[in-house]
Amino acid sequence: MVRESVLAWVESPLQLLGAAEWAAAHDRRIDLAARVTPQVPETAEELIGRGAAFAEKQPYFGIPWRMLAAHTHWLIGDGFSGQFRLAAAVLRPRRITFLDDGLNTLALADAIAGSRPYRRPRIDERGLTTRLAPLVLDHVRRRSLAGAVDLFTAFPLGDARRAAVADFGLRVEAHRFDWLRGTTPSAAVARTLREDRIVLGSARSTDGLMSREAHLRWVEREARRGEVAYLPHRREPDDLLAAIAAIPRVRVVKLGLPVEVALAGLGRRLDVRTLLSSTLSTLPLVLEGTGSTITEAPIEATGERRMEAAS
């Protein structure tokens, strides 16, 4: 039996990590088309150094048409992407596996199940991608009913959501970052990340989900407890990071990696502080067995409204 040719098409660090985990879970070497966005090149280098099973690796800016056409199985990082919709409408992939894209993963599962519209949360979509949406959703559902669509995820879907997607044949394959947890960080990461108290950066103020002032006050409160390493979110602007770096007892550590990769394999107990984020689902799995704690800032302490987490 001829094995399917597999391509991971990703555009964020978490999606890239999902591709590495899928390859390890299925004992496959896979080709990689990685969009050049913040932290993706650094994350790819770190994962390859840890032994990620990537074969052909190509950076891209638009749609990787040649690579997509040459593969029968697509691992898709962003199921809401307009580029994915266009490529899927033209090439009609035979098999699709959706990888984690923060909490958008749950929204995508709901869209396939028909309990929410097939569009990216909090985005007012227009133009060609909107017109392609029903065509692509129909193709995804048809392939799913044929047993050819999977969701490879570390996020808990819950019984009701699992039952809803099962009605459309979507197979859910859960993972716990087993591969990443067993890897050794590069010397540069281990040498640079010295602190045991970690504050995770966030795009919530960038996305308008909380004020900049509330963000800074939260970091100040955490720093009053002692020295912390602040790991920036990839979408935090430089002026915000400069203001954070000026807070006493805060060291901004720019590793260019998602926190799941930055903290995995350090081999010590960590005290991690975070705002509402998808890392509240992923980090407990990554740090399993280390005795580490992950604490979410209470909403009343930040002055923000509880909304969908920024991925």
Q: Where are the domains of the chain?
A: 6-181, 187-302
CB 172 within 8 A of CB 157: yes
pLDDT at position 197, please?
A: 98
Q: What is the pLDDT of residues 248-264, one digit of tens each?
A: 999 999 999 999 999 99
CB 255 within 8 A of CB 192: yes
Half-sphere exposure at residue 48, Cβ-oriented, CA atoms within 13 angstroms = 13
What top-level class would CATH report for the domain 6-181?
Answer: alpha beta
Among residues 121, 265, 257, the alpha carbon closest in space to that of 200 is found at 257
CB 186 within 8 A of CB 46: yes
| Residue 248 CB coordination number (10 Å) | 8
**Does position 303 have pLDDT exceeding 60, yes or no?**
no
For the sheet containing 149-153, what is the strand order? 54-60, 30-35, 6-10, 73-76, 95-98, 149-153, 171-174
Q: What is the pLDDT of residues 204-216, one digit of tens each?
A: 999 898 999 999 9
Q: The tokens 């705002």 sit on which residue?
A: 275
Average pLDDT of every residue of the chain: 93
Among residues 245, 258, 263, the alpha carbon closest in space to that of 196 is found at 263
- At 289, phi and psi to the nearest 5? 90, 0
Half-sphere exposure at residue 54, Cβ-oriented, CA atoms within 13 angstroms = 27
**Does position 161 have pLDDT exceeding 80, yes or no?**
yes
Question: Per mean pLDDT, which range of 10-14, 57-61, 116-120, 304-308 is the poorest?
Answer: 304-308
Q: What is the pLDDT of residues 108-143, one digit of tens each?
A: 999 999 999 999 887 777 778 889 999 999 999 999
pLDDT at position 3, please?
A: 64
Half-sphere exposure at residue 241, Cβ-oriented, CA atoms within 13 angstroms = 18
